[in-house]
Amino acid sequence: MKRYNSLEEVRQDIDTGVVTCRDLVNYYLQNIERKKHLNAYLEVFTEEALQRADEVDQKIAAGTAGRLAGMVIGIKDVLAYKDHSLQSSSKILEGFKSLYTATAVQRLLDEDVIIIGRQNCDEFAMGASNETSAYGPALNEIDNSLVPGGSSGGSAVAVQADLCLASIGSDTGGSVRQPAAFCDVVGFKPTYSRISRYGLIAYASSFDQIGTLTRSIEDAALLLEVMAGADEFDSTASQRPVAPYSQQLQTDKKFRIGYIRDTLESEGLDPEIRETMLGVIDRLKAEEHTVEAVDFPYLDFIVPSYYILTTAEASSNLSRYDGVKYGYRSPDATDLGSMYKKTRTQGFGHEVKKRIMLGTFVLSADYYDAYYTKAQRVRRLIKEKTEELLREYDFLILPTTPTTAFPLGGNDAEPLAIYLADIFTVQASLAGVPAISVPVGYDAKGLPIGLQVLTRSFEEAQLFAFSKVVNEKIILA
Amino acid sequence: MNIDIQTIRKLAHLARLEFDETKEQEMLQDLNKILDWMDKLRELDTSAVEPLTHMSEEVNVLREDVAFNAISHEEGLRNAPKKDSDYFRVPKVLD
């Protein structure tokens, strides 16, 4: 079977009788089996996906199929799906089965999506390499000694290796965009609050957003269109109407684009990524877009403030895992206090414990103002400056990552190195604005490079349209 | 900022975590490295900046308060590591 790059391609072949949903599911199941070593899935819903494929095929024949009929997806192991296991790639949720379905997942199901499995990720979405998963790392298909990025590593590999057409991930500080860049796929994070977080396991609630990993801009737009919108189960979800993004992808507009000067001059930036960025800038100018260097004075403050705020929120969110109501409970407990401690100590991995400890520290009475409140103040500065730049420019462009995919185990010795992998993605997360990573080239070793584009809140339509321009006119063959 | 082993122990207790001596030292070193790096924020004067506490523009999104059972009693207990027919079970709290 040929490799499909978008739902539109799939639908053409379904409509002409070339392929059925059952064929598609069988094809992906075979690929998953053949590429088991990539460890992209924690669980495959074999029988269920085949059964659902038959149901969708019948609906297509009857002319009653939903907008996502023919789309086979995987979901990151942080999204609730009723009566299915949900573990956040953590031992502490061993055996847990969800009692309800996340709003975003339900909306996809209502449009006849087929869910083929549950995807590997960093434990509680904390990581940038998929190496903190309690179930082992997922591997980059291009080179199995390299990480796929994280935390939505399995979700990115699944799309990269043709183990599904699209994946639903989550992005707190780059967890969809960074693995997308490492795996040569499109990674999209919407405006904060655009998609309901009901049924998304919480890591850092003022950052968490559901996002997508796809092979096409069209599929990213369509998936957002289906998942976005108000939800009575999430009062923070935006009440704004949802645009028909997938119908608004064409544009002839000449845009104003800014790039942050220091991102291209930063020491940690791979020279080949810098060259690629400069090439993109030249070609955008050749297409008569205005591209200008801008200054962003807070670049060095982005990652530290992000880690103060996210660890604080994580330490609070993860206090619910206590061994009482669900998940793992240590068999070694002698009393209630030791039950909590032993359960959490045995159930959480090292990185998660470290972030809980940091978060507990920055929220402790003596240091709350010096760290937590301080970071909230810095967040306002970063958000306001980002918004100011986005009033002047339609888009900000920057590399998605400072390096291409790095080796497994490469950052074990240095706790800060892995945090700096997020350096270019957390700005959009601190500001709450939408951002996308689009494949834009390869380094000399053939490893993919992602271009990240940010725009104003709730202007996803423009972000997708511009991404199409990048895809069609800017990337050199 | 430099924290000591006593602080690590206090934090571990607050977070309901336990570390053996090796892990305790590792945690101490990692946390100190990270906190040093977080101290970078002190270079910024933020005295005139209000903390940003809410990211969603939505304020007080209300709906009718209608009572309903989202899950049954049985479902609520289903995932419990230890339970009886009515309750979650935990080790004895009072003698």
Nearest by CB to residue A324, choosing from B38, B63, B90, is B90
- Kindly state whether A83 is in contact with chain B, defined as any CB-CB distance less than 8 angstroms: no
In a domain, B29, yes or no: yes
Residues of B in contact with A428 (CB under 8 A): none
Residue A477 pLDDT > 50, yes or no?
A: no
Q: In what helix (H) or strand (E) does residue A157 lie, and over which residues does it extend?
A: helix A153-160
Nearest by CB to residue A383, choosing from B18, B40, B52, is B52
In a domain, B30, yes or no: yes
How many domains does chain A fold into? Answer: 2
In a domain, A194, yes or no: yes
| Distance in angstroms (rounded) separating the CA atoms of residues A377 and A380 | 5
- Kindly state whether A239 is in contact with chain B, defined as any CB-CB distance less than 8 angstroms: yes
Nearest in space to A158 (alpha carbons), one of A196, A123, A131, A187: A187
Lowest mean pLDDT, pick from A9-23, A38-52, A339-353, A403-417: A403-417
In a domain, B57, yes or no: no
Residues A223, A318 within the same domain: no
Residues A318, A176 within the same domain: no
In a domain, A162, yes or no: yes
Confidence of residue A267 (pLDDT cuts 50, 70, 90): confident
- A234-259 pLDDT, tens per residue? 999 999 999 999 999 999 999 999 99
* Interval A10-29 mean pLDDT: 98
In B48-87, the residues whose Cβ lies within 8 Å of chain A are 49-58, 61-63, 70-71, 75-76, 78-82
The ipTM of this complex is 0.96
Domain of A74, CATH number, reads 3.90.1300.10
* Interval A113-130 mean pLDDT: 97
In a domain, A23, yes or no: yes
In a domain, B10, yes or no: yes
- A315-339 pLDDT, tens per residue? 999 999 999 999 999 999 999 999 9
Residues A222, A351 within the same domain: no
The pair phi, psi for residue A187, each rounded to 5°, is -120, 125
With an 8 Å Cβ cutoff, are B35 and A361 in contact?
A: yes
- A185-214 pLDDT, tens per residue? 999 999 999 999 999 999 999 999 999 999
Residues A69, A203 within the same domain: yes
- Show the tokens assigned to A471: 């895809």
Residues A94, A183 within the same domain: yes
| Residues linked to residue A167 through DSSP beta bridges, in sequence order | A74, A213
Confidence of residue A61 (pLDDT cuts 50, 70, 90): very high
Alpha-carbon distance values, A302 to A178, A361, A375 (Å): 16, 20, 9
In a domain, B24, yes or no: yes
Query: Can you tell me which residue has the tokens 């888009």?
Result: A395
In a domain, B26, yes or no: yes
List the domain range (segments joined by +) for residue B35. 5-42
- Residue A475: the pLDDT is 77
End-of-domain residue from the set A323, A342, A365: A365
In a domain, A308, yes or no: yes
| Distance in angstroms (rounded) separating the CA atoms of residues A388 and A386 | 5
In a domain, A259, yes or no: no
In a domain, A24, yes or no: yes
Residue of B60, B90, B92 to mutate when probing chain A, most A C-beta within 10 A: B90
Query: Can you tell me which residue has the tokens 């490893």?
Result: A447
In a domain, B12, yes or no: yes
End-of-domain residue from the set A343, A365, A387: A365
Buried-state track B52-70, b at ≥16 Cβ within 10 A, e below 16: beebbebeeeeeeeeeeee
Buried-state track B19-43, b at ≥16 Cβ within 10 A, e below 16: beeebeebbbebbbebbebbeebee
- Residue A135: the pLDDT is 98
- Percent share of chain B, pLDDT over 90: 82
> Low-confidence residues of chain B, pLDDT below 50?
none
Nearest in space to A120 (alpha carbons), one of A146, A140, A100, A145: A140
With an 8 Å Cβ cutoff, are B82 and A329 in contact?
A: yes
Residues A58, A132 within the same domain: yes
In a domain, A422, yes or no: no
List the domain range (segments joined by +) for residue A324. 304-365
Q: Is A371 helix (H, G, I), strand (E, B) or coil?
A: helix
Residues A175, A308 within the same domain: no
End-of-domain residue from the set A201, A231, A247: A247
- Residue A104: the pLDDT is 98
Domain of B27, CATH number, reads 1.10.20
Higher pLDDT, A134 or A472: A134
Residues A241, A100 within the same domain: yes
In a domain, B13, yes or no: yes
With an 8 Å Cβ cutoff, are B71 and A374 in contact?
A: no
How many domains does chain B fold into? Answer: 1
Asked if A325 and A90 count as a contact pair (C-beta separation under 8 A), the reply is: no
- Percent share of chain A, pLDDT over 90: 95
- Kindly state whether A363 is in contact with chain B, defined as any CB-CB distance less than 8 angstroms: no
Residue A50 pLDDT > 60, yes or no?
A: yes
Q: What are the catalytic residues of A?
A: 76, 151, 175
Residues A162, A34 within the same domain: yes
Residues A219, A308 within the same domain: no
Instruction: For residue A207, give the chain B residue with the closest CA.
Output: B55
With an 8 Å Cβ cutoff, are A361 and B3 in contact?
A: yes
- Percent share of chain A, pLDDT over 70: 99
- A135-173 pLDDT, tens per residue? 999 999 999 999 999 999 999 999 999 999 999 999 999
In a domain, A175, yes or no: yes
Question: What is the DSSP-derived secondary structure letter of residue A255?
Answer: P
